[in-house]
């Protein structure tokens, strides 16, 4: 079966082969299925999930998939009508953009790495870099706090909101300007729903975070790309885009941008807020990487201030999450803004999810209030710097043509690599996975047509520099296999 096989085709093949296994017998591992079918781990997981949903297999975390004791196929259900029900609203309400829920890019980064595959596509710190002991201690202390399991205020715990206000460091920012949200993705979803009505345009940097594009399209919005250069978003083109589309929001990552690693220049930071204000629009500032600078907490004072700190108009809605510098399971973020927009954001969050669980908020507050917090940030910063240098060094040695396209970031998780013209991202990603290294193709990071093929290579979810060098070696073999022989 070729690499283009879908999860449905794989599920059908495994369904026909189930009689080869006794009830309770283990099926081949995910890694074996990835190698057999030449597909991604996500595709294999979807196929297994389909069989589990039919009651044909059972899955056990960490153990694998097993033939179900009662291997009776569920009766077929005709769901054809749903295609009309899920898509009729565009005609009924005249929306200009249908809701398209495509989580492919997000799921690819959330999928657990298959044993033996080096994850250059990861979106979080490697488990060895996460502050497990500090988190466990914080959670233990939080559980013993009086009222820890009582209902929290819908806006969030006042002490945690005050901490976020101080951490942002904007003059005049107070507890009342902060809403606690369930992680950066949830905060971004709430904010986009609050700022942009269905069918409308939302401006985004090009390239940008695929999770933001997925949220926008799922909400029936039209993401419009605005090009960047080495100093960040092009403000002349941003002004043109506001004028041409009538958009009332711009999504931006001005610090350690994902995926390029670019930091918005000082001059443009001042002018960006003015451009948005002139257009009567909001700037949604995703400050996800504020604590991921490679110089450590001592160098934070040298980082540019967030856009919300230099905003006399209330234009900026700011998102700051604790997830990226800690653990994927510490899903706590601050949503920050000024004026009536915060009442709308608050209302949308309350309607959709009530509030963030109080024990999680208490644990977050315990963590950031403890001496272990700054120690962890220093340690993570040093580890990211070491891994960044290891990846750049290995690329220069094994893939010098690709290394020449890399601009070394001073913060964040990843490198943005430009591929040679004509090299197909999807083919390289599949070949690399077969070689034992998972990489992220550049296409999902663009709202429109990309100017060139790219890869995003993450160094954060790696155990040490040795694993990085081995991953680059595997990637170099994959690149060589796709290049024509003279």
Residues of the chain with CATH 3.40.640.10: 132-370
**Highest mean pLDDT range out of 14-28, 283-297, 312-326?**
312-326
In the chain, DSSP finds a helix count (H) and a strand count (E) of 18, 15
Q: What is the mean pLDDT of residues 206-227?
A: 92
pLDDT score, position 50:
82
Strands 440-441 and 454-458: antiparallel
Q: How sure is the predictor about 3, in pLDDT bands with cuts at 50, 70 and 90?
A: very low
Does residue 442 contact residue 458 with C-beta atoms inside 8 Å?
no
pLDDT score, position 485:
55
Q: What is the mean pLDDT of residues 59-77?
A: 70
DSSP 443: G
Residues of the chain with CATH 1.10.10.10: 7-67
Just give the CATH number of 132-370: 3.40.640.10
Q: How sure is the predictor about 12, in pLDDT bands with cuts at 50, 70 and 90?
A: confident
- Tens digits of residue pLDDT in 295-314: 866 566 678 889 998 888 88
**Between 259 and 21, where is the model more confident?**
259
| pLDDT surpassing 90 at residue 133 | yes
Mean pLDDT estimate for the chain: 86
Residue carrying the six token digits 């905003």: 311
| pLDDT surpassing 70 at residue 91 | no
| pLDDT surpassing 60 at residue 468 | yes
DSSP 370: S
| pLDDT surpassing 70 at residue 81 | no
Does residue 262 contact residue 407 with C-beta atoms inside 8 Å?
yes
* d(C-alpha 240, C-alpha 224), whole Å: 12
**End-to-end Cα separation, the chain, in angstroms:** 29
3-state secondary structure (DSSP) of residue 215: helix
pLDDT score, position 96:
55
When mean pLDDT is compared across 17-21, 186-190, 228-232, 390-394, the lowest value belongs to 17-21
Residues of the chain with CATH 3.90.1150.10: 114-129+374-482
* d(C-alpha 66, C-alpha 11), whole Å: 14
Residue carrying the six token digits 């488990």: 127
Q: Which two tokens stand for residue 167?
A: 């951490």
Within its chain, how far is the Cα of 14 from the centroid? 31
* d(C-alpha 198, C-alpha 415), whole Å: 34
Q: Which two tokens stand for residue 191?
A: 């904010």
Q: How sure is the predictor about 48, in pLDDT bands with cuts at 50, 70 and 90?
A: confident
* pTM, to two decimals: 0.80
The CATH number of 114-129+374-482, from 3.20.20.70, 3.90.1150.10, 3.10.105.10, 3.90.740.10, is 3.90.1150.10
Just give the CATH number of 7-67: 1.10.10.10
Q: To the nearest whole percent, how much of the chain has pLDDT over 90?
A: 52
pLDDT score, position 313:
87
pLDDT score, position 1:
40
């Amino acid at each position: 079966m070729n690499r283009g096989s879908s999860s449905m085709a794989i599920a059908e093949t495994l369904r026909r082969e189930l009689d080869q296994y006794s009830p309770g017998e283990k099926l081949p591992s995910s890694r074996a299925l990835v190698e057999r079918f030449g597909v991604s781990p996500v595709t294999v997981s979807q196929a297994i999930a389909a069989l589990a949903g039919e009651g044909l297999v059972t899955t056990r975390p960490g153990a694998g998939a097993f033939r179900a004791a009662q291997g009776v196929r569920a009766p077929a259900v005709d769901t054809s009508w749903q295609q009309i029900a899920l898509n009729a609203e565009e005609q009924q309400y005249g929306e200009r953009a249908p809701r398209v829920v495509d989580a492919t890019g997000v799921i690819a980064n959330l999928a657990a790495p298959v044993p033996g595959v080096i994850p250059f596509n990861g979106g979080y710190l490697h488990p060895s870099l996460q502050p497990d002991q500090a988190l466990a201690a914080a959670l233990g202390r939080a559980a013993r706090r009086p009222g820890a399991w009582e209902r929290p205020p819908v806006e969030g715990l006042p002490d945690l909101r005050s901490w976020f206000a101080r951490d942002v460091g904007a003059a005049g920012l107070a507890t009342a300007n902060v809403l606690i949200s369930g992680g950066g993705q949830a905060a971004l979803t709430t904010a986009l729903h609050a700022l942009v009505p269905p069918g409308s345009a939302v401006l985004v940097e090009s390239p940008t975070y695929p999770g933001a594009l997925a949220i926008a399209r799922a909400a029936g919005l039209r993401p419009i790309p605005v090009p960047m250069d080495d100093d960040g978003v092009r403000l002349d083109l941003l002004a043109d885009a506001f004028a041409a589309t009538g958009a009332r929001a711009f999504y931006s990552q001005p610090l350690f941008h994902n995926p390029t690693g670019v930091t918005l220049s000082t001059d443009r930071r001042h002018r960006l807020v003015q451009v948005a204000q002139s257009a009567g629009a909001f700037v949604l500032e995703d400050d996800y990487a504020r604590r991921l600078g490679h110089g450590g907490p001592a160098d934070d004072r040298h980082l540019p201030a967030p856009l919300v700190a230099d905003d006399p108009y209330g234009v900026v809605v700011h998102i700051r999450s604790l997830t990226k510098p800690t653990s994927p399971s510490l899903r706590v973020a601050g949503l920050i803004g000024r004026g009536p927009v915060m009442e709308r954001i608050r209302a949308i969050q309350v309607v959709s999810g009530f509030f963030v669980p109080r024990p999680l908020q208490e644990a977050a507050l315990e963590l950031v209030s403890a001496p272990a917090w700054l120690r962890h940030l220093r340690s993570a910063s040093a580890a990211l710097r070491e891994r960044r240098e290891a990846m750049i060094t290995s690329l220069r040695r094994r893939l010098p043509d690709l290394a020449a396209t890399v601009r070394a970031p001073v913060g964040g998780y990843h490198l943005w690599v430009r591929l040679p013209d004509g090299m197909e991202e999807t083919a390289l990603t599949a070949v690399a996975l077969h070689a034992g290294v998972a990489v992220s193709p550049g296409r999902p990071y663009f709202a429109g047509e990309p100017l060139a093929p790219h890869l995003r290579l993450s160094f954060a979810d790696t155990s040490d520099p040795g694993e990085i060098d081995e991953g680059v070696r595997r990637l170099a073999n994959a690149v060589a296999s796709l290049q024509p022989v003279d």
